[in-house]
Structures are given as C-alpha cells and as structure tokens.
Structure 1
Amino acid sequence: MSCNAVTAHRAKLGEGPFWDAPTQALYWVDIAGKQALRLMGDSLQAWQLPEHASAFIPCASGDALLTMSSGVYRLDLTCEQSAPRLNLFCVADPQPGNRGNEARCDAQGRLWLGTMQNNIGEQGEDLPVLQRSGGLFRVDADARVTPLLEGLGIPNTLLWSDDATQVHFGDSLDGTLYQYSIQPDGHLAPARVWFGPYPRGGPDGSAMDAEGYIWNARWDGSCLLRLTPGGEVDRVIELPVSRPTSCVFGGPDLTTLYITSAASPLNHPLDGAVLAIEVDIPGKRCHRFAG
C-alpha cells in the first residue's frame, strides 16, 4: 500500500485522529507540542494550547472537546488559533500527576477517557512511567463522570462492538489488547486477554473496519496490524514511520486510513506526519460528543 503525508506539519507526538463525517474534517493533536489540529480540505488549523492535550473531538453543540492535563475542556472553534478560548467542562481524573491519553466517544456520544501518569516534560521530553496510576472514565453529555477502571499504565485503543456489549481496550505497558463485557449497569466485567504481546512494537491506538477487524498502530514497530475479530493477525501493513500512534477511517467513503505518528530517534523523514493510505475495506465512523 502506498501512503503519503497529508500536510507538511510534523508533530512531536501526533495522536488521537478523529474523522468528522458531516464536515469531512480530520482532527488530531500533537500532545508534546501542545497543539490541537484540524484539516478541512487543504486548510490546516493549529490551536496552540497552554498544556498537553491527548484528544480533540467535535461536539454536537458545535464546539469541540479537548482532553487536557488538568481536565476536559470545551474549545470555541471560531477563536483565534493563537488565543484559544477554553472552558473547563469537567475533571474526570482527580489524581495529581496524571494526564489524559486515549479518548473516544461511543455510539451514544459519551466520552471514554483513559488516563495515565504524565510522561511528558514541559519541553516535550520523555519522562519514565513509574506507576500504574491511570484509570478509565466515562463522561456523559451533562458532565457526569463514571469511573470504570483503575491501576492502568498506558491506556490505548477504545473500540466498541456494534451491539455495545463489548469494548476493546489496551494497556501498552502490558503489550496487550483486552476485551471487556459491558454490563447492563454500564460497568465493565473483568478483562479478557484478546491480543498480544507481539514482537513488532507495542500496541497503540486502533480503528475498526466494517467487517469488525481492528487496525492497530504499533509504536516502535513501523507498521499496523489488521487483527481478526478472534484476535489473530490477518495482515501487516508496513509504514515509513518509526512510531505510528493511532489511526482512523475517513474520506467520503471511509476508505482512507489516516495514521498519526511521533518523532523518534531514528529521524525518518515522515516521523511525526499524518499519513493517508487507501484501503479496500471501509471503516466505521467516529461519533461526536453528544453535549
């Protein structure tokens, strides 16, 4: 598969890609660079933020959510990129020293947010993860927060079954993707190991296609894995970046796979770029936040 960079922008730590079908726009963040980015057609907007943000998700109300170090904020998308207007929506994780990492919305438009011990310094440098202080939280449209999991290392991947009875969720410290049953009260049953560890890098973010297969970005693995619903490797997609971080299906037919990536010591020319590849299977659409 051939791939290309969709813009000249290079992130320190690109993450959290979101495709907004109504506006045909791609949202993502540069966590270490403290930027929220949106690509609409050929126009790239980059809001410079006061702190690290791990996800940038449009809302039904017309603004967007940012999962930032100090909480979940709403961003006015009409504001100047150099002076973003931010309003605190909620604090999902009150644990000092934690930050948001993985975040996606389910089909009901509720935000699911995985947090972790902050591992990024003020200059964007890597800090060691020394404790499993993270958690998984669900945030409703009225800002009500429901804790779901605790003791997480580096949460990555959030994908739901069509009937909303199962969720795939990973922890990169374990090198493993798990599957959880969602109980009738909304809480999670104990985890089942679904995939991993695997020798090509560690599991980062993922997207699901229309056949229920999961496309998983492999940090330090220079590839994506397409995984069967049973947790077997269907194919390996080689990439010209060292550290792919996540992916999302987009484009008019949801057959363009957008892949975020991070800088690396190897300094490959496309490290930090958002890549696009055309695939033969459409993906499932992203859901806006319901609030």
Structure 2
Amino acid sequence: MAWTAVTQHRARLGEGPFWDGPRQALYWVDIAGKQALRLMGDTVESWQMPEHVSAFIPCVSGDALVTLSSGVYRLDLKSAGHAPRLSLLCQVDPQPGNRPNEARCDAQGQLWIGTMQNNIGEQGQELPIGRRSGGLFRVGADGQVTPLLNGLGIPNTLVWSADGDTLYFADSLDATIYQYALMTDGYLSAPEVWRGPHPRGGPDGSAMDVQGYVWNARWDGSCLLRLAPDGQVDRVIELPVSRPTSCVFGGDDLRTLYITSAASPANGPLDGAVLSIRVDLPGTPCTRFAG
C-alpha cells in the first residue's frame, strides 16, 4: 500500500483524529507535546495547550472542544496558537492524578470521554500505571456530566453500531475490546468480550466503516486490524509505523483513511506522523459536539 505522511509534523504521542466534513479539515492532538492541530487544505495550524490534551473536536457552535488534564474546555479557533483562548465547559473526573484519554462524540453530538491514571511526565516521558482509577463519562451539550463506568485501566476505542444500540470500547490494559448494549435509560449493560488479545500489539483507537467493520490501531503492532461485526479478524493492514494510535475516515467521500501514530524506541522515519491512504469503501462520518 502507498502510504503518505500528510504533513511534516511528527508527534511524540499523536492521537484522536477527527474528520470535520463541513470544513473538510482533519483535527488531531499530540498528547505529550500538548498540541492541538488542524489540517485544512495544505495548511497546518497548531495551538499550544497549557496541559496534556487528548482530543480536539469541533463544535456546532463554531469553536472546538479540547480535553485537558484539568477538564474539558472550549477553544476559540480564532485565537493565536501561542496564546489559545480557553473557557472551561466542565470537569469530568474528580479522581486526583487522572487524565483524559479517548474521546469521541456519538451520533447525538454528546461527548464520551475515558480517563485513566496519568502516565505522562511533564517532559513527555512515560510513567508507570499502578492503578485502575479511570472512568467513562458522557458530556451533554449543556456540559452536564454523566458517569458511566469506573475502575478502568487505559480506555481506548469509542465507536457505535449504526443503529446506536451497541458501544465498542477497549481497555488496553486488558488487551481487549468490549461491547456494551446502550440501555433505554442512557446507561450501559454489563460488558461482553468482543475481541480479545491478538499477537499484533494492543488495541488503541478505532474507526468504523459503512459495513459495520471496526478498523483498530494496534499499539506496538505496526498495523491496523479490520474486525468483522463478530470480532473476528477480517484483514491485517500493515503500517510503516511502530505505534499507530488511532484512525478516522475522511475526505469528501470518506474513503481516505487517516492514521495517527506515536514516537517509538525503533525511531522510524514516519513514527509520530499522520498517515493517509485511499481505501476501497467509505467509513462512517464523525459528529461534532452538539454544544
């Protein structure tokens, strides 16, 4: 496959790709580098955050959300990259020492955000994880926070079935992707194992295609796994990076696959890049935050 690095930027810990259809723009973050980035056409914009940032998601109101260690903030996209204007929307996790990780919006534009024990030092170094202190939370358009899960290790992958009845959600400490039924009261059923450990790395972020297959980035696995609706491996997509972190479908026809990645001990030339490739079927669109 002919992979392309979409920019010269190399992240220390690239994550959270989001394709904004109305603007035809790609949003992503460098968690360890404390950067929120946006690619529009050939222009890359970046905003330097005061804290580690795990997601950068546009809002229907015209600004964007950034998920920082101290809470979820609105970012004024007209503010300068070196002096971003931030306003607090909500604080989701009261547990000291936690930080946000995976975050995506559901079809209703509600933000779902998973948190974990902070494992990144001030200089971007990896810190050991010694407790399962993370949780999963849902944030409404008004900023109201609903706790959904607790006792999580490393939350990753947030994708929903086309009918909205099933959530696919990974805990990378378990090397497992689980499925949950969404109950009529808005809460989640008990988890069921959907895709257990696989020799090609651990489960990180994912995207879903129009056939209901999940494309899962494999940390330390140098690949994506395309997983069938029953959780079985349909295809292994080899990548020129050691630590792919997540993926999203974009472009005007949603047939361009974008993959974020992180730096690695292998120090490959594309580690930390955002990669793109054309694929044979479209994915499902991202949804902006409804607030």
Counterpart for residue 44 of structure 1 = 44
Alignment deviations for residues 113-151 of structure 1 (CA, whole Å, 9 cap, x no partner) = 000000000000000011000000000001110000000
Quote the Cα distance in structure 1 between the aligned partners of 2:28 and 2:16: 5
Q: Secondary structure at the match of 2:267?
A: coil
> 5 Å matches for 1:5-24?
5-24=5-24
Q: Which amino acid aligns with 2:48?
A: Q
> 5 Å matches for 1:132-143?
132-143=132-143
Q: Which amino acid aligns with 1:58?
A: P
> 5 Å matches for 1:84-95?
84-95=84-95
Q: CA deviation at 1:166?
A: 0.7
Quote the Cα distance in structure 1 between the aligned partners of 2:141 and 2:166: 21
Counterpart for residue 167 of structure 2 = 167
Counterpart for residue 96 of structure 2 = 96
Counterpart for residue 65 of structure 1 = 65
Q: Secondary structure at the match of 2:173?
A: coil
Quote the Cα distance in structure 2 between the aligned partners of 1:128 and 1:22: 40
Which ranges in structure 1 are unaligned for 5 or more consecutive residues? none
Counterpart for residue 196 of structure 2 = 196
Q: CA deviation at 1:87?
A: 0.4
Q: CA deviation at 1:98?
A: 0.4
TM-score, length of structure 2 as denominator length: 1.00
Quote the Cα distance in structure 2 between the aligned partners of 1:65 and 1:128: 28
Q: Which amino acid aligns with 2:117?
A: Q
Counterpart for residue 148 of structure 2 = 148
Quote the Cα distance in structure 2 between the aligned partners of 1:12 and 1:275: 15
Q: Secondary structure at the match of 2:79?
A: coil
Q: CA deviation at 1:189?
A: 0.4
Quote the Cα distance in structure 2 between the aligned partners of 1:163 and 1:211: 12
Quote the Cα distance in structure 2 between the aligned partners of 1:254 and 1:27: 15
Quote the Cα distance in structure 1 between the aligned partners of 2:162 and 2:209: 11
Q: Which amino acid aligns with 1:136?
A: L
Matched, 1:79 2:104: no
Quote the Cα distance in structure 2 between the aligned partners of 1:208 and 1:67: 22
Alignment deviations for residues 255-281 of structure 1 (CA, whole Å, 9 cap, x no partner) = 000000000010000000000011001
Counterpart for residue 131 of structure 1 = 131
Mean CA deviation greater in 155-164 or 245-254: 155-164
Counterpart for residue 2 of structure 1 = 2
Counterpart for residue 259 of structure 1 = 259
Quote the Cα distance in structure 2 between the aligned partners of 1:22 and 1:200: 35
Counterpart for residue 55 of structure 1 = 55
Q: Secondary structure at the match of 1:173?
A: helix
Q: Which amino acid aligns with 2:284?
A: K
Q: CA deviation at 1:196?
A: 1.5
Alignment deviations for residues 79-114 of structure 1 (CA, whole Å, 9 cap, x no partner) = 000000000100011111000000000000000000
Q: CA deviation at 1:161?
A: 1.1
Q: CA deviation at 1:2?
A: 1.3
Quote the Cα distance in structure 2 between the aligned partners of 1:229 and 1:162: 11
Identity level (%): 75
Q: CA deviation at 1:42?
A: 0.2
Quote the Cα distance in structure 2 between the aligned partners of 1:111 and 1:2: 34
Counterpart for residue 224 of structure 2 = 224
4+ runs deviating over 4 angstroms:
none
Quote the Cα distance in structure 2 between the aligned partners of 1:96 and 1:88: 18
Q: Which amino acid aligns with 2:105?
A: C
Q: CA deviation at 1:228?
A: 0.3
Paired residues, number: 291
Q: CA deviation at 1:4?
A: 0.8
Quote the Cα distance in structure 2 between the aligned partners of 1:122 and 1:77: 25
Q: CA deviation at 1:174?
A: 0.1
Q: Which amino acid aligns with 1:194?
A: W
Counterpart for residue 289 of structure 2 = 289
TM-score, length of structure 1 as denominator length: 1.00
Q: Secondary structure at the match of 1:104?
A: strand
Q: CA deviation at 1:162?
A: 1.6
Quote the Cα distance in structure 1 between the aligned partners of 2:8 and 2:35: 15
Q: Secondary structure at the match of 1:290?
A: coil
Counterpart for residue 271 of structure 1 = 271
RMSD over aligned CA atoms reads 0.4
